Amino acid sequence: MLGEVAACVLGRVGCGEDVSREAVGHLMGALAEGVREGLRQCEVQFVVRGGDLQIAVAFAGGREWRTTCPIG
């Protein structure tokens, strides 16, 4: 479900289809890696800043993953 939410957010802010697909793939990979490491709780944030969409995953315990996608 999170992949679908991320794809909707990326599409809504104007990320291209290829960029969106790549970003969702990276996000899902980061989440899967966290699960493999036993990090089952996390917070996902989508923030628009200066022409970019920033996606962040903060896992319980302090580990973070981030990426940025150009929008518009």
Match 């970019």 to its residue by tokens.
52
Token pair belonging to 45: 């944030």
- Reply yes or no on whether the pLDDT at 72 is more than 80: no
> Could you tell me if residue 67 is left (phi over 0), alpha (psi between -120 and 50 degrees) or otherwise beta?
beta
Ranges of H-type helices in the chain: 2-12, 17-36
Output the pTM of the full model.
Answer: 0.87
Is the CA virtual torsion 12, 53, 21, 26 positive or negative?
negative
CB 68 within 8 A of CB 15: no
What pLDDT, in 10s, does the model give residues 47-69?
999 899 999 999 998 899 999 98
